[in-house]
Amino acid sequence: MSSRSLYERKQQKNTKNLRSVSLPRTRRVVGEWLRMLSVTGIIGILYAWRGGGSLLFLLIALGIIMLNGLGLQLFGPRRIKLVRTITPARPVAGDILHVKVQVSFHGRLPLPWMTIVDYWSGIRHHELLFPGFRRSFSYTYTLEGMPRGIHHLQGCRVTWGDLPGWFTGRIEPEDNEVFRVLPAPLYFGGMLPDSGVIPGAGMSTKRGRSIGEEALDIRDYTPGDPQNRIHWKNSARRGSLQTRVPERERGQMSCVVLANCPKSYEIPTGALAPRSHRGATPPAFEKAVSAAMGLMLSAERTGTYIQLFSGGWPEGTARHEGLGKIPGRVLDFLTGISPDSTRSLSQLLEDASRSWIPGMTVSIITGQLEEESAKVIARFLVQGVKVDLYYAWDSPAPGTADTLSQAHLQPSDAMFQADSQPVSGSVTSQAYRQSFKGSVGDSLTRLGARLYRLDTALPASSYKEVEFHGLSGKPTLR
């Protein structure tokens, strides 16, 4: 058996018309026979009129083809079964997916050829096979560049026929194949996965110490503490009730706030890339989700007590809260999240801050820094909350819009050249340092916030140090 793979990208709207394009079976069969009988009738009339060996040979060949077509339609493949296995089991955005398809069917006649077309979300794969006398076989193809999200098999079409292709059969099996592509984690500064450090947390993983010993502490019992946290052995030793203190009460917990309001990710007019380079980099929201994924994985490795807040959830309720391994439902949430929340970043921060305490670290991920949310963040900074801010675009601080809007939002020669390739990350360090001074981010940095640009992040596979703005106008490498 030989095969030929054709890999084509198609728009999703083309796959929606899959069933409308295919003709009903009876109509297709009638059309094939009318065409064949018409050709046979013309050859028969010519033979009856002129005779000759050539026309007789054509009549015999057409008769054989019609008999073969009739047998193919009556005794063709039945009960076709397709089983797909996708590896890796939990792919991340950018991975190459391998799809193994096992085909089996029942039939009495050999099949000269068979085609199987899989319609995934925005992608079509066409496989040409030559089964012959085989009734079960397998083949493998790859899917490249699958974005984050939940991908469904929108349709499948199996077609077979005789050698000239004049008589064909077709079936569209009902398959409900679904696979999820997780966001590719992005890491910043000391958040390298193997380092076991979360920015601002000041914690590292110690192999000789268990997570339970690191996450818990002992203190005197106070009224209101739940009984399940009483440390009976220590209480008997000291003669007074002792209770365990979760890490969150010691100021060592971390909170991730992911903004998913459409307004937060509207690209400023001056930050638009040239048309020839649009689509070369992932959207800001995809980078934001990847940054949240990196923070969650770092917390998982270090055993940090972490919360995750995002829009589209009951007000004041965390999407996730706890220690240890990230639950599957949280991974599914990060896989399917989209910028469609009706709650702004400032409203989301107000909801999430109900459980914040001084000394804890809060990681805020958004697209554009704006004045309303900056005021809320500034209030938390004054209260002693450590803020790590991940963003895509800065904004001029109030009162400096006239003087800084041009420098910040309008692309300069240092940012884009009309006849040259854009600088990696879309903004050079020099251009960014010039626009950073006097902006909203500058004001927050003066209050103690740590700022990270989403453009400077790299996946763990190609990690390198990123630019960290410690003081206004004086970026340093960390």
By three-state DSSP, how is residue 37 classified? helix
Per-residue pLDDT at 274 exceeds 80: no
Mean pLDDT of 360-387: 92
Q: Where are the domains of the chain?
A: 3-181, 186-203+252-477, 207-249
| Cα 357 to Cα 354: distance, rounded to the nearest angstrom | 9
Which long-range contacts (C-beta less than 8 Å, at least 24 apart) are formed by 347-352? 348/257, 348/259, 348/261, 348/309, 348/310, 348/311, 349/257, 349/373, 349/376, 349/377, 349/380, 350/376, 351/309, 351/315, 351/316, 351/317, 352/255, 352/257, 352/307, 352/309, 352/316, 352/318
| Choice among 42-46, 178-182, 192-196 with the minimum mean pLDDT | 192-196
Treating both helix axes as pointing N-terminal to C-terminal, what angle do 25-50 and 53-75 enclose, rounded to 10 degrees? 160
> How would CATH label the architecture of 3-181?
Sandwich (2.60)
By three-state DSSP, how is residue 115 classified? strand
Rounded to two decimals, what is the model's pTM?
0.68
Name residue, tokens 């057409």: 62
Would you state the pLDDT for residue 474? 34
Percent residues over pLDDT 70 in the chain:
70
Mean pLDDT over the full length of the chain: 75
Q: Could you tell me whether strands 155-161 and 113-120 are parallel, antiparallel, or unpaired per DSSP bridges?
A: antiparallel
Pairwise pLDDT comparison (294 vs 319), residue with the higher score: 294
Name residue, tokens 């796959």: 15
Would you state the pLDDT for residue 273? 67
| Cα 105 to Cα 78: distance, rounded to the nearest angstrom | 6
* pLDDT tens digits along 426-448: 333 333 443 466 788 888 999 99
Would you state the pLDDT for residue 211? 39
CB 80 within 8 A of CB 102: no
- What are the residue ranges of helices labelled H in 326-370? 328-336, 345-352
